[in-house]
Amino acid sequence: MPRKRERLTVKSPEDEFAAGSDQTRQRRDPQELKIYIKQLSKALKFLPLGSRAYYAVTGELLRASTQLRALVPAGTAPKGEH
């Protein structure tokens, strides 16, 4: 018996914005963002270059690092780091 294939659906921009704003609210702690970036970097090593997953993780890595830079000004060093 053939299985039904899942169809890819396009989310409306409103749905995407609502989901994205929930994610950004969760990741406000700079230390948590650093851990998240480290995990994404490790995951990137195991993905085949040019795959959809590779580009998705790369985009998320860029977004997280940009958000971290916005939270921590370039001139100030976090406590405990030299």
Q: Which tops the pLDDT comparison, 61 or 6?
A: 61
Q: pLDDT tens across 19-75, in order?
A: 555 555 555 789 999 999 999 999 999 999 999 999 999 999 999 999 999 988 766
pLDDT computed for residue 51 by the predictor: 94
The pLDDT assigned to 73 comes to 75
Binning pLDDT at 50, 70 and 90, where does residue 2 land?
Answer: low
**In the chain, where are the structural domains located?**
28-71
d(CA 55, CA 82): 33
Residue among 10, 9, 11 at smallest CA distance from 20: 11
* pLDDT for the residue 38: 96
DSSP 34-77: HHHHHHHHHHHTTSPTTSHHHHHHHHHHHHHHHHHHHHS-TTPP
Say how far apart CA 73 and CA 10 lie, in whole Å.
37
